[in-house]
Amino acid sequence: MKNNILNTIKTIHPTNGMIGVEIEVEGSKLPQILPSWRIDVDPSVKNWSKHENYEYVIPKPTDLIGVKAALDELELAYKMNNSKVVEGELCGVHVHLNVQEWSLKKFYTFLICYYIIEEVLTTYCGPAREGNHFCLRAQDAEFILFQIRKTICEKNFKYLNNENIRYATCNLYSLFKYGSLEFRAMRSTRDLAAIYTWCEILTTLAANTGKFNSPLEAISQFSGDGELLFLKTLLGKHAPLFTKVPDLEKKIRNGARRAQIIAYATDWNTYKDEKVNPFK
């Protein structure tokens, strides 16, 4: 049996498709019927918004082509309706990456790489999302790193099956419902191309963390390469989007320091190594 997420968390329903998107929107003249989207009302937004508000959800995980097609459909509907979208602190975009087929080592390697560059990545999502309590970073709410450390040390995922880690930029509680990592940091915006780029950034990061055979190899490469080269290794063509982030190197260094408590939580040789296509 494969040592992967699907076989580790028994509650997951096996699902194909690598990515899912949920967009919370406040505004006016918003589309109400769209074939590629399920349209819900989000109570967390509804209770406070003075505008129309909906949550647009791609109903089944898809690939980047599917996401692009769905966003194109939403874009067209916005234009046809002359919709106005309000950017505020209430609404966000949640992107789910399907990790069911990921090996545990791949899963933890991804988390370490993510936490090393989390602060830098979140700058793309908008100033109102940095430190926002709907999507706290590890530097804001360090508890999540300790839950991951316990999960690794005790080889028991029960520490992640916990609502107390849900409002993080990377929500690991979503593993138990969908077998996904939910990225909650992106702002809701009229600029749907920016949302698509965010999806590309996350999938690129997921693919490139596969270059490392273990969490330790990732953090060793970081030490050898330095901040900028490591960022380029992880984000490829998207790295230039981040090179002008203020205090970039310091932010990545601090991220690496935070990630150490999970990178060094165990002897990774005790985890079975196997090649798994993360987007199978």
Partner 1 sequence: MLVYKNAEYAANRLAGTIVRRIIGNQHIPIAIANIANSKVAYTTLADNIPDVCDLKELDLDPVPLGYINNQKVATYWARKPMRQDWRQGLRAANVVCLSHPHAEWGGNNLKQIAACIDGVYPTFKQCLGKVKRNPEAKGSIAFSRDFAIDSAGVLFYKSITVGGIDDNGEPDYLPSFEWASDAFIEAVN
List of residues contacting partner 1 (CB under 8 A): 44, 48, 89, 127-133, 136, 139-144, 146, 163-168, 257, 260-261, 263-264
Count of CB atoms within 10 A of residue 226's CB?
A: 12
Whichever of 60 and 250 has its CB closer to partner 1, that residue is 250
Whichever of 213 and 266 has its CB closer to partner 1, that residue is 266
Helix axes 104-123, 227-235, angle to 10 degrees: 110
CB of 67 to partner 1, least distance (A): 26
CB of 197 to partner 1, least distance (A): 22
260 Cβ contact list (under 8 Å, min separation 6): 219
Whichever of 120 and 263 has its CB closer to partner 1, that residue is 263
CB of 139 to partner 1, least distance (A): 8
Owner of token pair 């929107």: 25
Q: How many residues does the chain have?
A: 280
Count of CB atoms within 10 A of residue 258's CB?
A: 20
Whichever of 162 and 204 has its CB closer to partner 1, that residue is 162
| Strand, helix or coil for residue 36 | coil
What separation in angstroms does the CA of 149 have from each of 47, 77, 81, 84, 87? 36, 45, 49, 44, 36
CB of 128 to partner 1, least distance (A): 5
CB of 101 to partner 1, least distance (A): 26
CB of 237 to partner 1, least distance (A): 29
Whichever of 34 and 261 has its CB closer to partner 1, that residue is 261
Whichever of 15 and 254 has its CB closer to partner 1, that residue is 254
Would you say 90 and 49 are in contact if contact means Cβ atoms under 8 Å apart? yes
